[in-house]
Each structure stands twice: as structure tokens, then as C-alpha cells.
Amino acid sequence: MILPNLLNPFYAELANILETKLFGFNYKLILCNSMEDSSKERYYLRMLNANQVDGIITSSHNTVKDYDSYSLPIVAFDRYLGNGIPTISSDNFSGGKLAANKLIISGAKHILFFAGNEKELAPTNDRVAGFKDAVGSANVDLKVLNFPFHKSVALKRSFLHKSFMSYSPDAVMASDDSNALLCIEELKNIGLNVPENVQVIGYDGSTWIRNYCSELTTIVQPIADIADVLVETLLNMIDKDIEKTPNQVVLPVSLHAGTTTI
């Protein structure tokens, strides 16, 4: 399995569930952490191919041609990697709309959306598209900023501070929960209360977040269901059961309403 990082609670939970499920089918999981470095990802692809693994699950950010050059069964999570490589994802478009509608109903008028760096054909881009679709007919000022997710916490804080001072939002959307929590901390540092002055909503809704940071309003991805479909799809590909191998599966998301929104 190739992941973009292991620090995000969402990926940690997904990897944990996948390892357990695959072990039940007598498969062992080799975990590769690309850190969104394309050269490191290419190295892992070569290594996995040389070790003759049975298949690959990837959620990383490399180019299509790198995966097309291997004949291994490959399943992608939240990434479009080309024809013949199934994509499993949650409904990012609906997730974006859910988040936007929650903030609109709560009275938000000036929203900052901290999105990831835009990757060509990445399903996560649909979060921004869904958010924009929901605010299109509302009297809302929306500013979408590409957030440096791979930067250090100090640089992230600096970026957030400048953004809050420049745009004076009354609501903030972050593309993942870890950075939503960082937004809350930085807002407090500049003397703004959540949600009285600024509402905050995140994305992913891992079990860890919902157990230990249950106050965070977030869009919940069905991690266990995602893992089930990833495993089922990969095993069907390994068995060459083409009829049971979908090109794309999109799973529903839900809203966890915490106290960081009104």
C-alpha cells in the first residue's frame, strides 16, 4: 500500500483496517509512505514490482504513466490513475456541499476554504466543486486558498495567520481534520473565538477525531466501507474476475455536527 503520509489520522485508520482485513485473506501488507514525493513513490513502485507483490493499493499522487507501466493489479483510493485502474472514493462532491450548506444555514457570509494543492483529475478536487456549487446561489463571499499541507506546522501557522488577517472570515473549511484543528488553534491565538467569531469545519471524520476531538464539526468518510471495497476490488483483480471489478465506486459521506459550528 502506498500512502501520501502516515501522520493524518484518516490514513492511519485506513491502513490499520486494511491490514486486518487483508491478513484475514492470508495477505500481508507492505506499507510505503511516499510523503507526496514522486521520486520516492517511483522507487516504491519499482521495489514492490521487484518483490512480486500480488497487488497494490495506492492513495498517492504520481503521474498516470508510472502506474500504466506495471501489469500488477492496482486499485486507487481517491486518485484517478488511468483506464484499467479502478478508483474507490467517498462522495467528495456531496461532502463539499454538506459542509457548505451547514455553514450557510449557520449564517456564514465570508468563508475561507483551505484546499490541498490541486492535482489533475484528483477526486478530492470535487470537495471544492461541491462547496462552490452549494454557495453559488447564496449571498456568500467564498475564497479558496491552496493550503501547503506538506509544510511544517510553523509555516502552516504563518500561512493561516496571514490568511485570517487578510480576509477576516466568519467561517473556515479545511480539507482535512488535522488542519481544521490547526485553524482553531491559530484563530484562538489571534483572539477569535470558535464558533462565536469564526465557525470551523473539517473533513475525514476518522474514529480518532470523533472520539478525542468530538467538538470538531466534520464531514465523515466511511473508512471501514472504503477498506471493504478496496480489498474486494483488489482480490477480484488478483483472481482476474473482471465482471466483479468496477471502474469506479463512490461511497456516501455524512456530517458530524460538533460545537465548532453554530
Tens digit of each residue's pLDDT (9 = 90 or more) over 202-234:
999 999 999 999 999 999 999 999 999 999 999
Per-residue pLDDT at 117: 66
CA angle 65, 69, 73 (to 5 degrees): 110
Degrees (nearest 5) of the Cα angle 123, 140, 110?
A: 90
pLDDT (0 to 100) of residue 121: 60
Q: Which pLDDT does position 62 carry in this prediction?
A: 61
What pLDDT was estimated at residue 125?
A: 87
Taking alpha carbons only, the member of 103, 99, 83 closest to residue 91 is: 99
- In the predicted model, is pLDDT for residue 22 greater than 90? yes
Q: What is the mean pLDDT of the chain?
A: 92
Strand partners, 172: 112, 200
The pLDDT-based confidence of 4 (bands split at 50, 70, 90) is: confident
CATH fold group of domain 2-90+222-252 = Rossmann fold (3.40.50)
Write 8-13 long-range contacts (CB < 8 A, 24+): 8/176, 8/178, 8/204, 9/177, 9/178, 9/204, 9/206, 9/208, 9/209, 10/176, 10/177, 10/204, 10/206, 10/221, 10/223, 11/59, 12/206, 12/208, 13/206, 13/207, 13/208, 13/223
Percentage of the chain with pLDDT > 90? 74
**Domains 2-90+222-252 and 92-220 in one fold:** yes
Residue that wins the pLDDT comparison between 173 and 79 = 173
Question: What per-residue confidence (pLDDT) applies to 68?
Answer: 78
pLDDT at residue 69, as a whole number? 79
Highest mean pLDDT among 60-64, 80-84, 195-199: 195-199
CATH of domain 92-220: 3.40.50.2300
Is the pLDDT score of 37 beyond 90? no
Specify the pLDDT at position 151: 82
Amino acid at 194: V
Distance (Å, whole) CA 118 – CA 146: 7
The domain ranges of the chain are 2-90+222-252, 92-220
More confident residue, 85 or 185: 185
